[in-house]
Structure 1
Amino acid sequence: MFEDLIYVLTKYDSWLWQGFLLTIQLLAVSVVFGSILAIPLAIARVSKLVWVQAVPFAFIYVFRGTPLIAQLFMMYYGCGQLISNIDGIQDHWTWTYLRDPYWYCLLTFVLNTAAYMAEIMRGGIQNVPNGEIEAARACGMTPFTTYRRIIFPRMWQIIWPAYTNDVIFTLKATSLASTVTMMELTGAARKIVARTALPYEAFISAGVIYLIIVYFLTFGFKGIEKYLRRNERREGQKSGPAKAGGTV
């Protein structure tokens, strides 16, 4: 088995490498654009107006309440089929992109990620201490400035562990792209199995690469978390000597 594993890693390293790059690309684009889309959704979710909450609530409910693979199939086979039936679309320059499963996968992952992150951000916004918000209003800050200088920085501190978990979840979710012919990491492993009939070795190789990606993601996000909580550590260092001095 060890020899077969070495064979897979050396013979099909280019396939695994291409799958790795596609996986990272899907992850990065999904997280970046999903986070950007999640911010206005989260703000709308904490609005006191019911009609403002309705649309983001329905969006989040649908994408969190249905399986990701069903969303992927609906997007690729459903929307893709509807688009392909449009008269003259196959002769249009956009057909080069519209027939590519990459864009359907990317759109599905972005929307799904946005739904989960919007709910995480909503919880973070609602857990920002009211005293800080009232202090910002007392200083004459506008709602936009309050969000930018008070609410969002505190929100990121609060939600960062959950945000990290959601990014890792998105990484694992990219493996579903192989179900619509995308050759990301899992798709590359399935292709290797079809070529070599070595399922254990192929998927062990892919699994090890996933573990390496998760390790570096976790390491990087922990570093960012320390940076976000730098003010809390400074306050702790300042309060420590003061408390010690008071007990003498």
Structure 2
Amino acid sequence: MSWEWDVIIEHFPRLLQGAILTLELVLFSGFAGLMLAVPLALMRVSSKPWIQALPFAYIFFFRGTPLLIQIFLVYYGSSQFEFIKNSALWPILREPYWCAIITFALHTAAYIAELLRGAIQSIPKGEIEAAKALGMSYPMMLRRIILPRAFGIMMPAYGNEVILMLKGSALASTITLLDLTGMARTIIARTYTPLEIFLAAGVIYLIISALLILLFRFLEKRFNRHQHWPNEKPKDLDPQHIEN
């Protein structure tokens, strides 16, 4: 078997175009999902059962059903309702691009909300009590204590979720979007070189994943920089320095 490297070189720019669309889907849906996950997680840690009920049902649905079915429900299902077709949402919901972003955002928000809930509940209670003793209001505690600490705790798992979303974004090709996978399938249909094109697409996915891993390692160190104190003792605390 001979490899047709010329096919990869010739169509590599088109694969990069698909990779750009993939990054857009992951970036926009990831940001929207994170914004949605924060209130969901805060409702999940509430002590009132009636407040927990709605986010629990939301998370249960989106974690318990396949992403492919969710995409089909949004893309094909929304067109079945006349009130949606006659609403201001129809110009958005009739476009596969926005349907994919909406579905990915709703899907990843359920997972991020659970990660964030666990991170919030694992914050040492002493830090919360200290913030209350200083007279901080609840919104201020959220902004300065709870959410920064929770993001630092959940960052490794959040990085894994983003990479899973990167791989899950390949399902966008099922609703006619030419993301990286969709572009690869289109090229294969014309060149009949599945091994070469899918290999090239896989390498691009690996490179994007590696860059995301490096990014989240940086963010993890950034959020948890208080845990990385220098091993050296400050000179003004060194006993020999004090005696001198």
- CA–CA distance in structure 1, aligned partners of residues 96 and 155 of structure 2: 32
Q: TM-score, normalised by structure 1?
A: 0.89
Q: TM-score, normalised by structure 2?
A: 0.90
Structure 2 contact 75–93 (Cα < 8 Å) conserved: no
Amino acid at match of 1:13: F
Structure 1 residues 21 and 83, CA, compared in 2 at 3 Å: closer, same or farther?
A: farther
Q: Which runs of 5+ in 1 are unaligned?
A: none
Deviation at 1:238, TM superposition (A): 5.1
- CA–CA distance in structure 1, aligned partners of residues 83 and 200 of structure 2: 37
Deviation at 1:146, TM superposition (A): 1.0
* Residue number in structure 1 paired with 2:10: 11
Amino acid at match of 1:55: L
Structure 1 residues 110 and 204, CA, compared in 2 at 3 Å: closer, same or farther?
A: same
- CA–CA distance in structure 1, aligned partners of residues 19 and 227 of structure 2: 37
1:58 corresponds to 2:57 = yes
* Residue number in structure 2 paired with 1:27: 26
Q: Which runs of 5+ in 2 are unaligned?
A: none
- CA–CA distance in structure 2, aligned partners of residues 237 and 49 of structure 1: 47
Amino acid at match of 2:19: F
Q: Count residues in correspondence.
A: 239
Deviation at 1:112, TM superposition (A): 0.4
Deviation at 1:9, TM superposition (A): 2.2
1:167 corresponds to 2:162 = yes
- CA–CA distance in structure 1, aligned partners of residues 83 and 199 of structure 2: 38
Deviation at 1:178, TM superposition (A): 0.6
Decide which structure has greater helix share: 1
* Residue number in structure 2 paired with 1:38: 37
Deviation at 1:236, TM superposition (A): 5.7
Amino acid at match of 2:205: Y
Structure 2 contact 36–109 (Cα < 8 Å) conserved: yes
- CA–CA distance in structure 2, aligned partners of residues 186 and 95 of structure 1: 27
Amino acid at match of 1:191: T
* Residue number in structure 2 paired with 1:47: 46
Cα RMSD (Å): 2.4
Q: Deviations over 1:17-46 (max 9, x none)?
A: 210110000010011111111000000000
Structure 1 residues 181 and 234, CA, compared in 2 at 3 Å: closer, same or farther?
A: same
Identical columns (%):
47
Deviation at 1:81, TM superposition (A): 3.3
- CA–CA distance in structure 2, aligned partners of residues 98 and 60 of structure 1: 22
- CA–CA distance in structure 1, aligned partners of residues 172 and 25 of structure 2: 9
Equivalent residues in 2 for 1:172-211, closer than 5 Å: 172-211=167-206
